Amino acid sequence: MQQPEDILHAGNSATPRKLWSIPEFRRLLRTREVSAVETVTALLDDMRAKRELNIFITETHDKALNQARDADKRLAAGVPRALDGIPIAVKDNFCTKGIKTTAGSKMLAVSRKSEDGFVPTYESSVTQRLLDAGAVILGKTNMDEFAMGSSTETSYFGPTINPVGVRLGFDNLVPGGSSGGSAAAIAADLAVGAIGTDTGGSIRQPASFCGVVGMKPSYGVCSRWGIIAYASSLDQAGAFGKSVRDVAAILDVIGGEDQKDATSVSSLSLRYEAALAQPQKKLRIGFPREIMRLKATADVESVWTAGQKIAQQLGAEVVDVSIPSLGYALPAYYIIALSEASSNLSRYDGIRYGYRANAPKDIIDLYERTRAEGFGEEVKRRIILGTYSLSAGYYDAYYLRALKVRRILADEFSAVFQKVDAMFMPATPTGAFEIGAHEGDPVQMYLEDVFTVPVNLAGLPAISVPVSRDCRGMPLGLQVIGPQLGDEKVVQVAAAVEAMTAH
C-alpha cells in the first residue's frame, strides 16, 4: 500500500495536492492499491492544516473513519457500492443524524438544550443516499446563514476564504455562496465531492468562483426531505466536483424519487454517468441575446466569447435566441424566495428549535428576543421583505405579479428549448470579489445572482464549468442550461465543454 502522504499526490509533487477523480479513485480502491482509511486519515490531517480557510463548520473525524473502515471491508470482500470510500463534504443545511446542523445560523448553532446546538434525530434523504452508497462524510461545510447570500459572509461562523485566491496570492476573496464551504472544499483538495443546495445559484456561483464544476439538477430530482428550507419551490440539492464526471457520479446516487418529498419527480430514471458514454449528435446551442444588456462586464464578455468558441470547436450550431423576460427574473426571484423564506423561518420561535433568549418576561418577549438575537441582519431583512410582499394590500402588487413573471419566464425557456439542445450563459458577472466588497449594500449582493436565478424560477437543470479567467487569474464559469428534466443532455454538453477547455 502507498503511504498516506503519497496517497493524495497525483503526479507532480511540486503541484498542490490533488485528489483523484471518482472513476480513478474507485479503481484504486477496488484493486486495493489504496485504502479508504488511509486516504481519509490523510484528508482529515489536511483539514486540520487548512482550518484558517474556515471551510468546515463541523469536522466529523470519528464517524468518517468508521465509515471508511466499513467501506474498506466491503471493498476487500469484493462487494463495493457506488461511492464506497469516496470522501464527500456536506453543506451544513442537510440534517445529519447525531451531527450538529446549523445552516450557518446562531439560531441553530446555539441551543438552549445543549452546547452542541441543533443535533437532528434523523438523516436527510440526500445524505442517507450518500451513506447507503458507501460515501465517507468528512464534515459539514460553511455557508451563508440559511443559504441566504452569494458569498458565505453571512455565516454565523465567519467567512470562508477562497482557496484559489490564496494560491494566487489573494487571501481576502470570497468563495461565493451560499454553498461556499462545499465549493472551497473541492478547490482546496479537501474532498473528492461535495453536496450543496441551489435556490438561486448557490451551487453554480461558488463553483464559478472556485474553479470547480457544480450542478443543480432539475427541480424535483433530489429529495428536499431533511434539507433546512429556505424557499421550498426553488430549493434543490446538487453536487460539486473537479470534473463533470465526478459530479455525474454523485448525482446518480443522490437523485431519485422519495416518498417523503411530494415534489420529488416520480418514476424518473436519470443516469448521469452513463449518459456521458452515449454518442452525441450535432448540437444546437442557444446564446440568449439579452445577456449583454443585462450585465456587460469584461468577465461576462470573456465567458461569452469562450462559450462561442467552444460551441464552434464542438461543431455545434450556434443559435441566437431570446428570453425577453430575463431581466425580470432577479426582482421576481427576490420576491418569491423571500416570501417563502418568511413563512419557512417562522418555525424558529425559541420553543421548538435551537436558540432561545434568556429570561423572557412573557411569551411575546420570548419570540421577539429569540428572533432578534438568533437571526443575523440579512436573514432579518429578508423575513421583513418577504412578510411585506405577502401582506394584504401588497400581495397582488408583488407576490402575485412575481409568480406571473415566473410563469412567463418558464414558457419562454420552453419555447427556446424547442429550437436548441442547451443554452450557454455566464455563471457570474465577475470573478470572486473581496470579502466586505458589498458590505452595507444588499442590492449589489443580489445583483450577483442575475445569471443564475432565472434557471431556478423555471426549475431547469444547469451546471457551471470553468472556461476562462479574469484579469487576476481567478476562474470564471460557463453555465450550461437544459430543458426541464434534460439533465442528461446538460452533463453531456458540459463534458464536451470541459474536454474542449482541457484541450
Rule CB under 6 A: which residues touch ligand GLN?
A: 147-150, 178, 197-202, 230, 337, 449
**Closer to ligand GLN at the Cβ: 39 or 452?**
452
Three-state DSSP state, 98: coil
Three-state DSSP state, 193: strand
Three-state DSSP state, 285: strand
**Closer to ligand GLN at the Cβ: 39 or 389?**
389
Q: Which of 105, 124, 178, 208 is catalytic?
A: 178
- List the beta bridge partners of residue 91: 141
To the query of whether residue 302 is one of the catalytic residues in this protein, the response is no
**Closer to ligand GLN at the Cβ: 200 or 226?**
200
Distances in Å between the alpha carbon of 335 and those of 123, 324, 340, 342, 395? 31, 19, 9, 11, 10
To the query of whether residue 178 is one of the catalytic residues in this protein, the response is yes
**Closer to ligand GLN at the Cβ: 199 or 492?**
199
CB-based burial of residue 373 (10 Å sphere; 0-12 exposed, 13-18 middle, 19+ buried)? middle
* Contact of 190 with 89, CB cutoff 8 Å: yes
User: Within 13 Å, how many C-alpha atoms sit on residue 122's CB side?
Assistant: 8
CA geometry: angle 340, 341, 343, nearest 5 deg: 70
* Contact of 405 with 332, CB cutoff 8 Å: yes
Q: Which of 35, 50, 91, 389 is catalytic?
A: 91
* Contact of 187 with 162, CB cutoff 8 Å: yes
Strand order across the 422-426 sheet: 56-59, 136-141, 87-91, 193-197, 237-241, 213-216, 462-469, 475-481, 422-426, 284-288, 317-321
Continuous H helices in 154-255: 163-167, 180-187, 204-210, 244-254
> Distance (Å, rounded) from C-alpha 164 to C-alpha 189?
11
Beta strands in 13-63 (DSSP E): 56-59
Least distance CB 202 / ligand GLN (angstroms): 3
* Contact of 179 with 206, CB cutoff 8 Å: yes
To the query of whether residue 391 is one of the catalytic residues in this protein, the response is no
Q: Which of 124, 179, 202, 302 is catalytic?
A: 202
CA geometry: angle 107, 111, 121, nearest 5 deg: 100
Interacting residues of 316 by C-beta distance below 8 A, sequence separation 6+: 282, 283, 284, 285
AA identity, residue 231: A
Least distance CB 189 / ligand GLN (angstroms): 25
Count CB-CB contacts under 10 A for residue 439: 11
Three-state DSSP state, 390: helix
> Distance (Å, rounded) from C-alpha 55 to C-alpha 59?
10
**Closer to ligand GLN at the Cβ: 202 or 325?**
202
**Closer to ligand GLN at the Cβ: 368 or 378?**
378
Active site amino acids? 91, 178, 202
